[in-house]
Structure formats: C-alpha cells, structure tokens
Structure 1
Amino acid sequence: MIGTGAIAGAHAGAVAAHADRAVVGHGVDLDAGRAQGFAEQHGLASWGTDLAAALAGGEDGPPDLAHICTPPGSHVPLAVQCLEAGVPVLLEKPPALSLAEVDELLAVSERTGVDVAVVFQHRFGAGAERARRLLADGVLGRPLVATCHTLWFRDPEYFAVPWRGRWEVEGGGPTMGHGIHQIDLFLALLGPWEEVSAMAGRQARDTETEDVSTALVRFADGTLATIVNSLVSPRQTSSLRIDTEHATLEVDHLYGYTDADWTFTPAPGSEQVAEHWVPDPDAPSSSHTGQVGVLLDALDAGTPLPVTLREARDTLELVAAIYASAFTGRTVRRGEIGPGHPFHSRMDGTGAPWMTTTTTTTTEGDHR
C-alpha cells in the first residue's frame, strides 16, 4: 500500500474482505508515523518510507500488486517506479494529471509488459453490470437521452488541504476529482462519446480550479446527454439516468450504490421488458471490494487487470475535452486532443478564465 492516508483504509478494507485470497503485506508513506499507525490499525506485517525496498520484497520476493493511494500529482512517477520493478499497479483515480501523463504511463506499461488498473469501482456493482448487459444486448432498444450528475458539497475548509483545488497537484476540480467516477460509469454503459460542448465556473470557492462544470455530450450512437459536476450543492447526490426506446434506467446514490438504488421504468407498451430487470437484495454494492475481487480473479487467470489504463484514458479524454470546450468556447471532438494540443499536457490548457483576472471570487461567480 503506497500512501497510507484516508483512501488507503478503503483499499485495506477491500483486501481484508478477500482475506482468503490476499493480504496487505507492507505500507509505505513519506510520513513514518502515519505508515506505522496504518500498519498497526490494519495488521500489516511491515511498514516504512522506502518504496524501492518494499518493491524488492523479502524472502517471498516482490509483492504481487501495489496499491497507489497518494494525491494525484504523484500517481505517475510512483506507478512508473512500480512497473520498472515488475510490480503491477492498482492506481487511485484520477490516474494522472493529464492525457500526456497517461500516455507516458501507457508507454512504460507496454514496454515492461506490466499492467496498470485504475480504481473506478462503480463499474462493479450488480446494478451496473445488469444495466450494461441489457444495453449491450439491445433488449432495451436504442439509448436516446441520458444524464450524469455528481452534485456534491465541499465547504471552504475542505480546500484548506494544500494539494486541493490546484491544477498542478490535483489536476482539476469536481470534473476531474469527483465526477470522474460517474463519468466513467456513464461511458462504460453508453460507449464512446463523439463531441462535447461545455461550461465551467468558479462559483463560490476560492480555488484555482472550477467548482462547477456542465457539458452537453453527443455519443457515437447518437445518444444526447448532459453531465453536471458540482461541489456547491447542499443536497448531495450522484445520479445516472438513461432513457432508451423501451425503458428508463436510473441510479441515485452518493458514494456507492446498492441494487435498491436503481430504478427501472418500462415505456408504455413495453411493459414486458421489466422481466429482464430483477433486483437482488443480496447483490454486492459498488465498492473497492467489488473491484478488488474482480482484480484478484484477473491476477489468478493472467488476464488484463480491470479497469485497464487504456479504458481509463478514454474517461480522462472526455474530462480533458470538457475543460477544453469550457475554456475555449469551442465544441471538442473525440480524438482531437493529442500531442501538441494545449489540453493534452494540462487540464487547464490555455488557462482557466478566472485565473487571467485579478478579481477574487464573488457571489456571482467567475464563469464562461
């Protein structure tokens, strides 16, 4: 476990849920006291501050997997160090600060032949798996219109942590660091997007990054969709809705859903499709535990680890396109952001509009 802060607890708990298959053997952190406390809390055999030594391993050889649970700005260099040591990686979201960094990591993974998986745990709940199957099989007809909303609330104190709300360290605001989970599930269900037109604003928080973004997206199959990400919404919710020819699929939750959080509504005259949606009250929820279980299956079978870095790049490309459209006022098409494009190397690309003025945040917000 590399990085033993808050999110590392979710990773340790996920591994503990599969204790018959895996165990966390070592914790690494720049803060020795934090690493020690984490090791004691979760029953780790060892801990330290030397990543190279941890990757080398002990009598049993190197570890089978490294979980990277550090702030986003350190993800790629730490992942590269693991891959060069021959250790596969489970990387927290967002995997990198830019598409350029993801491409760098992809190149190292392909050269070394060592896998990187990215934490997008919402793909692994029973409801999402059922929805994906029905959409792929065509049982529900064509998707027509869809919404993807991550409406959360973070007070000013939340941003007192030095790495939050900064492009250089966090890579972006709620579009990058919060809504990316829902965006990833959206793409997993609907497939590739084609073009996006977006706006972003710094409405109420004194940060470098946005605190709200909105986007209109056309998918390759013609589906029209909206994506909204916010950190200034007092009634918090994470929701997806997909209206198809024969039914509406919806999930409304906050940080993880159960089968009970899904709603299935047949279209008038298509009531028979309801027989394909059979909730299971005992089905697993979306969680790190679910993704770790599927990942262990992949390790045992020698198959690619879920979610692959290339799949994660598709999600990050839409995030980059939302920023590019919002900051330039242009519609952005899939595949447009490549080497040499300003939004390939940085999510703020040509610069957030509010960073080019000397004014501070007002109640009216700064937006384009």
Structure 2
Amino acid sequence: MIKVAIIGTGAISTSHIDAFLAFQDQCKIVALCDIYSEKAQKQAKDFDLDVEIYNEYKDVMARNDIDLVSICTPPYTHADITIEALEQGKHVIVEKPMASSLEECDAMNAAAEQSGKILSVIAQNRFTSPMMKLKSVLDSKLMGKILHTQVDSFWWRGYSYYDLWWRGLWEKEGGGCTLNHAVHHIDIFRWMNGMPAEVTAVMSNVAHDNAEVEDISITIGRYVNGSLAQITSSVVHHGEEQQLIFQGEFARVSVPWKVTASKPQENGFPEINEELESKIQQEYDLQPNLQYEGHAGQIQDVLLAIEGKKDVLVTGKDGRETLELITAIYQSSSLGESVALPLGKNSPFYSREGVLKNATYFYEKKKSIDNFATNEITTGGKYE
C-alpha cells in the first residue's frame, strides 16, 4: 500500500484527493498539510479521511512511512518542498507549474536523480482520451510534415481572482496566464510537436489592474524546418474555448476532434481527400478511451510507476522543458526580442532573481485575502 501525504489543501487539492480515492486498493492518504490548518481539517472532514493534520511540511517529511508526496502549494514553494521530499526518500508529484524558474527545475531534477525517486509534474490534460488519440494520429505521420500549429489556451477569470494572497505577483505566482493556465496546452503542444527553435512574443494586462502579471500573451514559434506555431494564452476569453490545431502537408486535425484532408486539383485548388480522411479517422478510432482521465489518470500513472509496472509519462525533465518554453515567452515579451531555444544559465530569466528583475510589471496588487469562501474551481480539458 502506497502511503500518501498531500501538502497544500487549497482548491486544486480536491482534484488530487478525488484521484487518490479512486485507487484505494493501491494507496492511502495518511497526512494533509497546510499553513492554514483549518483548511486541511475541512478537507479531511469533507472527504471523511482518517489522516494526521500538519501545518509544517517538514514534519510530514520526517515520517518514514510516507511513500509519495503530492504538492499542491503555490508555485514559489514547489522547489523547496520537492527537494526536501526527494532527499527524504519520497516520490513526488507536484502541481503545475513545476517551479518559478529554470534554476529551481534543474535543482529539483538533480535531487530526483540523486534520490532515485520518481518526480512527476502535473499535466492532467495529457490524460484525456481526445489528447491521447490525437497524439497517436500525429505519431502515425499520416498528415505528413506539420506546417502550422495553433494553440488557443482560452480561459476567463474575474477581477477578484487575483485577490488571493499569492496570485498576481511575480514573486509568488511566478507569472500570469501563460504560466499558470496555458501551461497545460503548452505542455501538450511541446509533447506533440517538439520545441521550436525560436519564439517571439508579446503580452499585456487588459482586464486585471490588480495584478503585476499578464492576463494575455501571443507567441509565434519558429521551427528549424520553417514551420510556425502560434500560441495564445488568456484569462480574458469568455466561453473558454480551448483547442489545438495541427495543419499538416496532407491533412488538418485538432482537439476538439476534427479531420479534414485535401488534395489538389489540376489548377491547385483543393478537393476533399476522402481516402486519407478515412485512414486518419480509423487511426483515431482505433485508440481506446481511457478508463481514468485528468488528475486520476495521471495519479494512476504515477502509482503504477512506483509499483514498477511502467515508466512515468510526465517527468521532471518534461516539466522543465515546458517551463523553458514559457520562460522564453516571458523573456521575449519583456525584453522585446526574439529568443532562441534552448535556454541555459546565460538567460537573464534563468533564475528566480532574474525573472523578478527583468519581467514586465503591469500593475500593483491592490488587495490580498487569505482564502476564498469556496474551494470550487474549473480545470478545463473538456475539448468538446
């Protein structure tokens, strides 16, 4: 039985608790920890959990019986807690974004390598049937070379969203919608299509003058082979339509699922390529639906990896590469320049201190509250 501790019992912890409870034959939650102990107590009561409550994460780490730590705290705390857990011989699953800087990511990955323990970064939107099926279609190469990719990471958050004490601050949240919302789609984009060689980006804050960080950014990525990608990250889009579209040489596919294939007439104008559409649709349909999706799917993946039954799908190196692309977006938009990838220690945004010094600050945070009355949130990923 894998014994689990959850550090941080804010809104996202509910998704983790629900997920772990789906696998009670494999794991058991034995500890909850939060600097606001009443929040941990409420979660324990709401889910009828027989657990120890802590308000210091180091006290949790001191327990020898805990195998896996699930970290649901604000981004600026991820590195310290993760490294401590790994050094204490515990596996770690940490919420997105992996950390506040590439320097912290590198330290976390080094600790994982030294400890020999699993470090996985939450990317729950990979663990959906539409995404897994789309990945299979792209891997089949039926579409030919990818020419253009469109990523619409559209979310909507009201003005009060940034009232929470750690949100809206470069120091604590690490960034705005590009880091904390579009991270899902940027991870999937990178997983499916690889890293671009260069990015050029702009960002703004158009609707939240109570936050230092951006609420919209638009990025163009360029690949070595000349193909282009555009990524829009936003918390100002009503309806929250989220999609990834891949335009290949021979066909177009997307999530939400749609396939269109064209072949040229004698004059170069298109006509439908029904045969190719049928082949791509067959490849999509051949992939089974996942039994567990979202956080449950990813937590199952980690539990199976701990049991030695598979390799974990989303590693610390994956988390670092996703943050690398986001960091390049911030560097480009803040300094007004195109940024070549990969990013190393010479990047002015490599360290947390570098981010705080060089990032664009839009507004001052105007209000700070400890907690909201409700823990209800939405995590996207429907793709319908």
TM-score using structure 2 length: 0.84
In 1, distance between residues paired with 2:219 and 2:356?
16
Which residue in 2 is equivalent to 1:326? 333
| Alpha-carbon offset, residue 150 of structure 1 | 1.2
Residue type of the alignment partner of 1:16: L
Greater relative contact order (Cα 8 A, min sep 6): structure 1 or 2? 2
Contact 1:72 1:95 in 2 (8 A): yes
| Alpha-carbon offset, residue 219 of structure 1 | 3.1
Contact 1:132 1:189 in 2 (8 A): yes
Which residue in 2 is equivalent to 1:257? none
1:338 aligns with 2:344: yes
Q: Deviations over 1:64-84 (max 9, x none)?
A: 210000111111111111111
1:13 aligns with 2:36: no
Contact 1:55 1:62 in 2 (8 A): no
1:231 aligns with 2:235: yes
Which residue in 1 is equivalent to 2:212? 208
Which residue in 1 is equivalent to 2:261? 266
Which residue in 1 is equivalent to 2:304? 297
Look up the SS of the partner of 1:140 in the other structure. coil
Change (3 A) 1:298 1:281: closer
| Alpha-carbon offset, residue 2 of structure 1 | 0.7
Which residue in 2 is equivalent to 1:258? none
Q: Deviations over 1:26-48 (max 9, x none)?
A: 11111222212211222322222
User: Between Structure 1 and Structure 2, how many residues are aligned?
Assistant: 344
TM-score using structure 1 length: 0.87
Look up the SS of the partner of 1:193 in the other structure. coil
Look up the SS of the partner of 1:227 in the other structure. strand
Residue type of the alignment partner of 1:7: I
Which residue in 1 is equivalent to 2:33? 28
- Aligned match for 1:351, one of 359, 377, 382: 359
Q: Deviations over 1:331-367 (max 9, x none)?
A: 11112x3224211114455231646xx9x9xxxxxxx
| Alpha-carbon offset, residue 214 of structure 1 | 0.3
Change (3 A) 1:309 1:232: same
- Aligned match for 1:219, one of 219, 223, 231: 223
* Moved beyond 6 Å, runs of 4+: none
| Alpha-carbon offset, residue 134 of structure 1 | 2.4
In 1, distance between residues paired with 2:143 and 2:327?
31
In 2, distance between residues paired with 1:71 and 1:354?
21
Look up the SS of the partner of 2:305 in the other structure. helix
Which residue in 2 is equivalent to 1:255? none
**Which stretch shows the higher mean deviation, 236-245 or 276-285?**
276-285
Contact 1:98 1:344 in 2 (8 A): yes
Q: Which runs of 5+ in 1 are unaligned?
A: 253-261, 361-368
Look up the SS of the partner of 2:358 in the other structure. coil
Contact 1:248 1:265 in 2 (8 A): yes
Q: Trace 1:112-131 onto structure 2 (pairs within 5 A).
A: 112-131=115-134
Contact 2:259 2:277 in 1 (8 A): no
Q: What RMSD over aligned residues (CA atoms) do the two structures have, in Å?
A: 2.2
Contact 2:9 2:72 in 1 (8 A): yes
Look up the SS of the partner of 2:172 in the other structure. helix
Contact 1:190 1:219 in 2 (8 A): no
| Alpha-carbon offset, residue 283 of structure 1 | 4.2
Contact 1:115 1:304 in 2 (8 A): no
Which residue in 2 is equivalent to 1:105? 108
Residue type of the alignment partner of 2:184: H
Change (3 A) 1:128 1:32: same
In 2, distance between residues paired with 1:51 and 1:293?
24
